[in-house]
Amino acid sequence: QVELQQSGPGLVKASQTLSLSCAISGDSVSGNSVTWNWIRQSPSRGLEWLGRTYYRSKWFYDYAVSVKSRITFDPDTSMNQFSLHLNSVTPEDTAIYYCVRVGPRGSGSFDIWGQGTMVTVSS
Amino acid sequence: DIQMTQSPSSLSASVGDRVTITCRASQSVSTYLNWYQQKPGKAPKLLIYAASSLQSGVPSRFSGSGSGTDFTLSISSLQPEDFATYFCHQSYSTPFTFGPGTKVHIK
């Protein structure tokens, strides 16, 4: 079965870069019928979709407007994983971060979730 | 952006009760509407996709209905393990958005 394993620091200083990785087992980061997403959750913002990356003969990236100027996703086919990099963080970026798959079904539903990483931004 | 609302924000119910949660989209999302269950300290879990299709492994007491802007999640007979928070999510257009959640408490 498909599993996502997240890794990365739980504490980041303000103005620095938050980086998390998501290792995929049971599927391929370059699969042509899936997308790979990052979602965060906080009491103030609820569940917030940050963006996605996917491969359709080339890599595509869609980012939420709220973070577009600060975020990049980095798929790595050799490691079969994808990473999130969010720069210039502030305490408002404190949240639980999830990597999530949209499966091949075509409904756009988030069917596989990583375990979540609680990230605290210290001021 | 498509705004998602849910009602109620919380409810109290007893084991065996039928529970209904409503989700409304600010514009039509066709049937690109999904439901998730989240328990404390855990990631959300997909229950219903495409408005009414049951995710594999999810008990049949869960059902979904609706299209366009109005959707419903029903639990036919609430079980102890169903006390959790439920979210709807539209996958019609980016940015994908979620409802604020409905917390189901034990009465």
- Reported as a single tens digit per residue, the pLDDT across A2-59 is 999 999 999 999 999 999 999 999 999 999 999 999 999 999 999 999 999 999 999 9
B34 touches chain A (CB under 8 A): yes
Q: Which of B49, B95, B98 sits opposite A65 (nearest CB)?
A: B95
Q: What would the mean pLDDT of A94-99 be, rounded to a whole number?
A: 98
Strand blocks (E) in B1-107: 4-7, 10-13, 19-25, 33-38, 45-49, 53-54, 62-67, 70-75, 85-90, 97-98, 102-106
Q: What would the mean pLDDT of A64-83 be, rounded to a whole number?
A: 97
A47 contact residues in B (CB cutoff 8 A): 44, 87, 89, 98, 101
A115 touches chain B (CB under 8 A): yes
pLDDT value at B106 more than 90: no
> At residue A11, what is the residue type?
L
Cβ B100 vs Cβ A46: under 8 Å: yes
Q: Measured between CA atoms, how close is B39 to chain A, in angstroms?
A: 12
Token pair listed for A2: 């498909």
d(CA B8, CA B6) in angstroms, rounded, equals 6
pLDDT at A105: 86
Lookup result for tokens 């569940």: A47
> At residue B52, what is the residue type?
S
Whether the ω angle into residue B8 lies within 30 degrees of 0, i.e. cis, is yes
**% of chain A at pLDDT higher than 90:** 97
